[in-house]
């Protein structure tokens, strides 16, 4: 379809969509953020970076940590931070994988975060997978996170919030 055809069809489409639309337009539901986990990740010595197109993949092992909160308490055993940094040092693709065990049940816990964008304006996906039937619902819930590097860049504190409508 040519752009002139699209332009001429637009008023017809708008008229069609507005027929009988005396109803109030839909509004977005209010979202609430409920703090559910606090994660402290202890970082090891950074490994030699891997060159990738447009920058490097910076590798930092996770050597321990804790997970506390209303959803679960756990010990972090290991993991890796393998983010892609652009040539100016900006993180463009965070990629984190954390392994641990849940204190109460000794079941395995996996937290994975990946996304795109520089810090503060990034969009990330967090997946939490846990063994045991009481925590399987974590895989179907939506979480937002905040993070802060602490202790002279040897640790990161991550706040995990469940989104509720």
φ, ψ (nearest 5 deg) of residue 139:
-70, -15
pLDDT at 1: 46
pLDDT at 11 over 70: no
pLDDT at 92: 80
Assigned token pair, 98: 């954390």
The predicted-structure confidence for 21-65, as pLDDT tens digits, reads as follows: 556 667 777 888 999 999 999 999 999 999 998 889 999 999 999
Secondary structure of the chain as H, E, C letters:
CCHHHHHHHHHHHHHHHHCCCCCCCCCCCCCEEEEEEEEEEEECCCCCCEEECCEEEEEEEEEEEEEECCCCCEEEEEEEEEEEEECCCCEEECEEEEEEEECCCCCEEEEEEEEECCCCCCEEEEEEEECCHHHHHHHHCCEEEEEEEECCCCEEEEEEEEEEC
Domains, the chain, in order of start with CATH, read 29-164 (2.40.160.20)
The predicted-structure confidence for 76-127, as pLDDT tens digits, reads as follows: 999 999 988 887 777 788 889 999 999 988 999 998 888 887 766 777 778 8
- Rounded Cα–Cα distance for residues 131 and 113 (Å): 18
φ, ψ (nearest 5 deg) of residue 16:
-60, -45
pLDDT at 104: 87
Closest by Cα among 125, 71, 67 to 94: 125
Which pLDDT band, with edges at 50, 70 and 90, does 132 fall under?
Answer: low
Which pLDDT band, with edges at 50, 70 and 90, does 13 fall under?
Answer: very low
- Rounded Cα–Cα distance for residues 75 and 78 (Å): 9
């Amino acid at each position: 379809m040519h752009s002139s055809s699209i332009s001429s069809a637009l008023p017809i489409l708008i008229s069609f969509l507005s027929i009988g639309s005396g109803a109030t337009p839909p509004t977005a539901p209010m979202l609430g953020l409920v703090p559910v986990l606090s994660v402290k990740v202890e970082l090891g010595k950074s490994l030699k970076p891997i060159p990738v197109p447009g920058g490097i993949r910076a590798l930092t092992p996770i050597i321990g940590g804790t997970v506390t909160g209303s959803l679960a308490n756990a010990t972090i055993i290991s993991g890796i931070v393998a983010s892609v940094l652009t040539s100016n040092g900006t993180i463009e693709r965070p990629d984190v994988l954390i392994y641990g065990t849940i204190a109460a049940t000794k079941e395995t816990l996996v937290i994975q975060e990946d996304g795109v964008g520089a810090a503060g304006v990034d969009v990330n996906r967090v997946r939490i997978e846990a063994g045991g039937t009481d925590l399987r619902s974590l895989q179907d819930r939506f979480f937002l996170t905040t993070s802060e590097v602490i202790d002279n860049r040897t640790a990161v504190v991550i706040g995990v919030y469940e989104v509720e409508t």
